Amino acid sequence: MILTGNEIIREVENRRICISPFLKENVNPNSYNYRLDEAILEFEPDLIDAKRKPKYKKIKLTEKGYCLQPGKLYLGNTVEKIGSDNYVTQLIGRSSVGRLGLFLQITASLGHVGSKHKWTLELTCIQPIIVYPYMKIGQVSFWSMQGSKEIAYIGKYQGYNEPHISEFYHELDKTK
């Protein structure tokens, strides 16, 4: 079951949910609005080979914003450290942002129990759009689990505080 906004506040206060920094005004009826941090990664226009580390450049967002271009992939991250040892997190876009043609969390919306960090955001747009640091870009919801937590989360993306590229090429090195 999804937690209500009041329950999210209560569980943050009880330290069963981590949202840091936490702003009460970002709480919605069933979610919390997270913000875009100051750095994004822009992939180089080359072909991306799943067996190789992709090429990218790091861009620091300023108060003037940065214009994302259609057909490109960008990685950002949340300002907030988000997660829980007690609930599953799901990161989704905001309707207001989607209506501007900006999509995020293209494939990786699920946050496993025990995963707590600044989340990398997958950003793409259908028309040029200017993004700004600290804008409310998406929402996170918290879901209760059914069953016991017998499998611990030990993920390769745990603990990053900046946008982080895919480590998939390491997996392909091991497949034969």
Overall domain count for the chain: 1
Structure confidence at residue 168 (pLDDT): 66
Q: Is residue 82 within 8 Å of residue 116, measured between CB atoms? A: yes
Please indicate, yes or no, if residue 152 is contained in any of the structural domains.
Answer: no
Please indicate, yes or no, if residue 164 is contained in any of the structural domains.
Answer: yes
Q: Over 70: is that where the pLDDT of 156 sits?
A: no
Looking up residue 140, the CATH number of its domain turns out to be 2.70.40.10
- 155 pLDDT band (50/70/90 cuts)? low
Q: Is residue 82 within 8 Å of residue 31, measured between CB atoms? A: no
Please indicate, yes or no, if residue 62 is contained in any of the structural domains.
Answer: yes
Catalytic position from the list 11, 44, 122, 167: 122
Please indicate, yes or no, if residue 151 is contained in any of the structural domains.
Answer: no
Read off the pLDDT of residues 42-54 as tens digits, 9 standing for 90 and up: 988 778 888 888 8
Please indicate, yes or no, if residue 154 is contained in any of the structural domains.
Answer: no
Average pLDDT value for residue range 27-34? 98
- 85 pLDDT band (50/70/90 cuts)? very high
Q: Is residue 133 within 8 Å of residue 38, measured between CB atoms? A: yes
DSSP 36: B
Please indicate, yes or no, if residue 10 is contained in any of the structural domains.
Answer: yes
* Residues β-bridged to residue 102: 125
Is 122 labeled as catalytic in the residue annotation? yes
Mean pLDDT, rounded, of the chain: 89
Range of the domain at 22: 5-145+159-173
Structure confidence at residue 107 (pLDDT): 76
Average pLDDT value for residue range 48-61? 90
Average pLDDT value for residue range 49-77? 93
Please indicate, yes or no, if residue 153 is contained in any of the structural domains.
Answer: no
Higher per-residue confidence, 129 vs 154: 129
Give the HSE-up count for residue 93: Cα atoms under 13 Å, Cβ half-sphere.
17
Structure confidence at residue 67 (pLDDT): 98
Q: Over 70: is that where the pLDDT of 123 sits?
A: yes
Please indicate, yes or no, if residue 50 is contained in any of the structural domains.
Answer: yes
- 112 pLDDT band (50/70/90 cuts)? confident
Structure confidence at residue 16 (pLDDT): 97
